[in-house]
A = this chain, B = another copy of it.
Amino acid sequence: MINIGIVGATGYGGRELLRLLIGHPQARLVAAASTSVADKPLGQELPAFNKLIDLEFESFDAASLAQRCDVVFVGVPGKASMAPVAALREAGIRVIDIGPDFRLKDTGAFHRYYGADHTAAHLLEESVYGLVPWYRDRLRDAQLVAVPGCYPISAILPLRPLMEAALSDIPVVIDSISGISGAGKTPSEAFHFPEMNENLKAYKLGLHQHTPEIEQELLHKVTVQFTPHVAPLTRGILTTITVRPQHLFDPTPFYARYSDEPFIRVLGEGRLPEIRYVRASNFCDFGWVRDERTGNLLIVSAIDNLMGGTAGMAVQCMNLMFGLEETTGLRWGGMAP
């Protein structure tokens, strides 16, 4: 049994972590810190978990968490995890951060896209990017894991194998559509139900903070135009990638490396993914089309942004870090319907 702590358990990423950890056969949740609801029973604040777990929210105390836990998950908004993660690492405890603060190795890019200085840059070297299929070995011993962003997971998994050999120095257009849970739990006019229901929009064109993360993990071989959209659903990201290689090629061989990945399903040419098949699962599905007429290769991928795109990937990292079977607690098919 691994003893788990969570910091920031009431956000959407945190709630999904709670859901997965409560159902995990080898994890025991022993602490949940949340300043806004400290001292309140978890099951009262989050009625979805009532009668499943008997725990009170507590204030954040790094030393106390370090004493009681084997690992602490941090799920607070961007820029807010630098401080608690630094304190936790100081206290000697392993940390899995589902926020963005420890993903970018380039603090200049962090400053440009997040609008703040990085206050814990000394931890960036030990931070391991928690994209399991590409960092599996380093994750086993990681002390600090930066779980990838949801959009990046949907873009990097299908693109990175192509960077190895076939693609570089070409324009890449990434148009993603996300469910609204990706925008977080804070109510706003934009995501008030009657405004967002039956609505579609694009946002942060050319400015989205996941852009440098994608380019970093594509090894800076390409410049990407990343355009996120939102649609009226709760969970899911569908990403359509358009690239024009010098010569159209068959990407199949490049994806052979994914054949044993437990949570990547390479659908193949002419077969496209849908959110319904990955919902509430840890899977990333993708397929592609070669358009001879235009010379473009089109790749479409699908994930559940909260599970495969955040909390499920985080739990997969944890399983690796503690020597468990990697798929423990995560072997769930898509919830369709």
Contact = CB atoms under 8 A, between A and B. Distances in A.
B48 A199 contact: no
Given A52-B333, A193-B180, A332-B19, A200 B274 contact: yes
A138 B51 CA distance: 25
Interface in A191-232: 191-203, 205-206, 223-225, 227, 229, 231-232
Interface centre among A15, A49, A294 (most CB of B within 10 A): A294
A275 B193 contact: no
Number of copies: 4
A300 B202 contact: yes
Contact of A227 (B186, B196, B240): B240
Contact of A198 (B23, B279, B285, B293): B279
12 contacts: A15-B337, A23-B331, A48-B278, A48-B281, A50-B277, A50-B333, A51-B265, A171-B244, A187-B189, A193-B196, A229-B240, A280-B335
Interface of A: 12, 15, 18-19, 22-23, 25, 46-52, 171, 173, 175, 177, 179-181, 183, 185-189, 191-203, 205-206, 223-225, 227, 229, 231-236, 238, 240, 242, 244, 262, 265, 272-281, 283, 285, 289, 291, 293-294, 296, 298, 300, 302, 306, 331-337
Given A199-B236, A201-B238, 17 more contacts: A12-B194, A12-B337, A18-B333, A19-B332, A25-B25, A48-B336, A177-B229, A179-B194, A180-B194, A187-B191, A193-B193, A197-B337, A200-B302, A205-B289, A205-B298, A206-B291, A224-B294
